[in-house]
Homo-oligomer: A and B are copies of this chain.
Amino acid sequence: MKDLNLLFKEKNLKLTPQRYAIYKYLKSTKNHPSAESIYEELKEDYPTMSLATVYKTLKTLIELNLVQELNVGEDNFRFDANVDSHPHIFCLSCGRVDDVEGVNFTFLNKEIENYTDYSVDTHQLYFYGLCPKCKERGRK
Q: How far is the CA of A69 from the CA of B127 in the complex (A)?
A: 14
Chain A interface helix/strand/loop/mixed = mixed
Contact: A131 with B112, CB < 8 Å?
Answer: no
Size of A's binding interface in residues, CB under 8 A: 35
Q: How far is the CA of A120 from the CA of B124 in the complex (A)?
A: 17
Among A69, A73, A98, A127, chain B packs the most CB atoms within 10 A around the CB of A127
A102 at the interface (CB under 8 A from B): yes
Per-position 1/0 for A71-85, Cβ under 8 A of B:
111000000000000
This chain's copy number in the assembly:
2
Q: Within the assembled complex, what's the spacing in Å between the Cα atoms of A116 and B92?
A: 15
For the complex, is A15 an interface residue (Cβ under 8 Å from B)? no
A131 and B103 contact, CB distance less than 8 A: no
B122 engages A128 (CB within 8 Å): yes
Contact B130 A118 (CB under 8 A): yes
The reply to whether B127 and A118 form a contact with Cβ atoms under 8 Å apart is yes
In the complex, the answer to whether A123 meets B128 with C-beta atoms within 8 Å is yes
B116 touches A98 (CB 8 A): yes
A-B CB proximity, top 3 nearest: A120-B129, A117-B132, A118-B129
